[in-house]
């Protein structure tokens, strides 16, 4: 019986300091032995957003004991760990540097391989922690910094099908929440408020709904919410605006995901089509329902990570580390921080004024 790989994952790309130990069982199914996430929400709340310098300082203060806690909780000893995987990008340079340097130093001192991980690939593989998924699949990434449709052909081989040309979906949720007077990060609160509201009360725009394939745009929606929010007088109106916003988002995602499915089917011919949706916003129950219903209609298997693995965590980083370890895809200790590391590095930049969509 060969020893199963044991991987330490480290994540510090934004405002979560996280470490996790992941292995696999006899059947080759990944198994999380520990998953520690320390959020900095309380540090950034008063500023209404993440302050990079404060985030980096907090990572530095916590990284060693978060890693120690993950190792202790896993029941494995330090010398049983086979490789260290750290997020190298994308994210905030000052934050990424903390986990990347810590991971490299630990790997070097243990004389074990080091693996640099793309944070977005972590999200893409996060559902593999609780279900077996073969490549290829259609991946819908919806987080605070990114909103993209990608065809995942294999580990490390991505083709971007569509992206947001302005705000990320999580950003749209957070900004709307702020306009409704909810504390940062307000995204998750929108669905709580929306449950109490009438989603037909306000008509909101659906930018680029009928053009641009499966590219996305949310900035115009936010501007419309801003105008209405200024006039709100009662709590019920606030709930109605949250519900109308969430409904509009779902209508956009329904159409755009349908477009993405068509694009995906042009590239890969598979009998069992799969849609994997991950990233912080994939925790939203209404969005989950919309995508589940669409997948039923279009004959796709609809896959999400468990709710606790939708947001940033290190188990997903260790998961990528595990797959790369098995392929002996290791990195040198001079691997750079890559703040703008794209999954599909050949895809054109599609942001800002002047973007021409057909």
Is 11 one of the binding residues for ligand KG4 (CB under 6 A)?
A: no
* Binding residues for ligand KG4, total number by CB under 6 A: 19
Tell whether the torsion through CA atoms of 305, 307, 309 and 310 is positive or negative.
positive
Cβ proximity to ligand KG4: between 14 and 243 the closer is 14
Q: Among 317, 232, 282, which Cα is nearest to 17's? A: 317
* Phi–psi pair at 89, nearest 5 degrees: 165, 175
Residue 170 contacts which entry, Zn ion, ligand KG4, none (Cβ below 5-8 A, type-dependent)? ligand KG4
Interface map 209-248 toward Zn ion (x if CB under 5 A): ----------------------------------------
Cβ proximity to ligand KG4: between 143 and 163 the closer is 143
Q: Among 231, 199, 205, which Cα is nearest to 218's? A: 205
Cβ proximity to ligand KG4: between 206 and 263 the closer is 206
State the Cα–Cα distance between residues 233 and 236, nearest whole angstrom. 9
Return the SS3 of 271: coil
Is 173 one of the binding residues for ligand KG4 (CB under 6 A)?
A: yes
State the Cα–Cα distance between residues 171 and 159, nearest whole angstrom. 23
User: Which residue from 174, 237, 240, 323 is in contact with ligand KG4, where contact means CB under 6 A?
Assistant: 174
Distance of CA 325 to the CA centre of its chain: 22
Task: Tell which positions 114-143 bind ligand KG4, by CB under 6 A.
Answer: 143
Smallest gap from Cβ 171 to ligand KG4, in A, equals: 6
Cβ proximity to ligand KG4: between 101 and 250 the closer is 250
User: Which residue from 143, 176, 199, 215 is in contact with Zn ion, where contact means CB under 5 A?
Assistant: 143
Q: Are 170 and 225 in contact (CB under 8 A)?
A: no
Q: Encode burial over 306-327: b for 16+ CB neighbours within 10 A, e otherwise.
A: eeebbbbbbbbbbbbbbbbbee
Q: Are 224 and 205 in contact (CB under 8 A)?
A: yes
Interface map 255-294 toward Zn ion (x if CB under 5 A): ----------------------------------------
Helices (H), the chain: 41-44, 52-74, 93-110, 119-125, 169-179, 187-194, 219-231, 235-267, 285-298, 315-326
The stretch near ligand KG4 (CB under 6 A) out of 64-72, 93-101, 180-188, 237-245 is 180-188
Smallest gap from Cβ 230 to ligand KG4, in A, equals: 22
List of residues contacting ligand KG4 (CB under 6 A): 14, 143-145, 170, 173-174, 185, 187-188, 190-191, 279-281, 283-284, 311-312
List of residues contacting Zn ion (CB under 5 A): 143, 312
């Amino acid at each position: 019986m060969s020893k199963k790989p044991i991987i330490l994952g480290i994540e510090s790309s934004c405002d979560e300091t996280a470490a996790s130990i992941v292995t696999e069982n006899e059947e080759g199914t990944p198994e999380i032995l520990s998953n520690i996430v320390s959020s900095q929400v309380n540090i950034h709340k008063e500023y209404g957003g993440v302050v990079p310098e404060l985030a980096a300082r907090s990572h530095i203060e916590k990284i060693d004991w978060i890693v120690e806690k993950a190792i202790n909780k896993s029941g494995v000893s330090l010398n049983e760990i086979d490789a260290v995987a750290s997020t190298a990008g994308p994210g905030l340079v000052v934050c990424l540097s903390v986990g990347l340097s810590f991971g490299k130093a630990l790997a070097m001192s243990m004389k074990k391989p080091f693996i640099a991980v793309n944070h977005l690939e972590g999200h893409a593989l996060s559902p593999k922690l609780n279900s077996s998924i073969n490549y290829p699949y259609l991946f819908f990434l919806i987080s605070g910094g990114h909103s993209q449709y990608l065809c995942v052909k294999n580990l490390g081989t991505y083709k971007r099908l569509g992206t947001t040309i302005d705000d990320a979906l999580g950003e749209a949720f957070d900004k709307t929440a702020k306009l409704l007077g909810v504390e940062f990060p307000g995204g998750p609160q929108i669905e709580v408020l929306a449950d109490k509201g009438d989603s037909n009360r306000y008509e909101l725009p659906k930018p680029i709904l009928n053009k641009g394939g499966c590219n996305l745009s949310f900035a115009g929606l936010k501007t419309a919410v801003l105008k209405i929010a200024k006039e709100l007088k009662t709590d019920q109106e606030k709930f109605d605006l949250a519900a109308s916003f969430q409904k509009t988002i779902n209508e956009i995602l329904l159409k755009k995901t349908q477009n993405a499915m068509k694009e995906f089917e042009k590239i890969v011919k598979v009998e069992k089509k799969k849609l994997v949706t991950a990233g912080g916003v994939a925790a939203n129950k209404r969005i989950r329902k919309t995508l589940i219903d669409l997948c039923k209609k279009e004959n796709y298997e609809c896959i999400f990570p468990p709710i606790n693995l939708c947001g940033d965590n290190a188990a997903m980083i260790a998961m990528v580390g595990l797959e790369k370890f098995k392929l002996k895809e290791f990195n040198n200790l001079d691997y750079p921080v890559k703040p703008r590391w794209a999954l599909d590095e050949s895809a054109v930049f599609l942001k800002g004024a002047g973007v021409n969509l057909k």
